[in-house]
Amino acid sequence: MREGSAQGEAAGLTTTIFFRRKYMEIFQQVLSQKTLDEVTTELNDKIYEQCWRSSQLTWDSELLIGNMGSVSMTELSDTTYDLVMNDIASKIPKADDLILQYFVWHPGAGIAMHNDESYAFGGTIYLTSIEVNYGGFFIWEESTDDYRIYVPEFNSMVINKEQKRHMVVPVSLDSKIKRYTIQIFAAKS
């Protein structure tokens, strides 16, 4: 269901609002080619650095329910952070303190139902498309017992504006592609 288009701040970047609800928004084509190139280069370089944390070591046990894999996490460089923020600033709620992190979702990795209550809002930019048979879907609770599913597409973004309960279905153990994302967390004022 398409609900309109919005012009991105980056020159020549047209972002489509794919889905809009009171609490959730999904955008397509959120990062410019320049930003995607920088993100890809940086992420590929960081894969070989010792800068990663593991969900199995740092997340609360409630977030690991039903998940056998691990999510690896690290921060974006200042340069890449600025490029990403330039592309998405007009699409996200205003916030003073934003955390942007790369997440690599290995086979078996997901996150159990939660609401990010310690943040003002959260979001995800998808750096890979998800093949339907291999999991990694984003699910949120629209209202009591009313769940919605989004199958992530490359260069799309989900913004959870009001701590709606959500989860990521574990990536299949035989998935040929890892699920790469940029996670966005806004500190509460």
pLDDT digits (tens, 9 = 90+) for 47-71: 999 999 999 999 999 999 999 999 9
pLDDT band at 178 (very low <50, low <70, confident <90, very high): confident
Which tokens belong to 67? 């998940």
Residues 6+ apart with CB under 8 A from 40: 127
Residue spans of alpha helices (H) in 103-170: none
Distances (CA, A) of 90 to 10, 13, 23, 34, 84: 10, 12, 17, 18, 11
Question: Does residue 157 contact residue 126 with C-beta atoms inside 8 Å?
Answer: yes
Residue 19's pLDDT is 61
Which tokens belong to 64? 């690991």
Which tokens belong to 60? 């609360």
Per DSSP, the chain holds a count of helices (H) and strands (E) of 3, 13
pLDDT band at 155 (very low <50, low <70, confident <90, very high): very high
Residue 21's pLDDT is 64
Name all domains of the chain by residue range, CATH numbers in brackets.
4-187 (2.60.120.620)
pLDDT band at 8 (very low <50, low <70, confident <90, very high): very low
Examine the pLDDT at 34 and tell me if it is beyond 90: yes
Say whether 26 sits in a helix, a strand or coil.
strand
Question: Does residue 26 contact residue 156 with C-beta atoms inside 8 Å?
Answer: yes
Residue 5's pLDDT is 33
pLDDT in tens, 95-126: 989 999 999 999 999 999 999 888 999 999 99
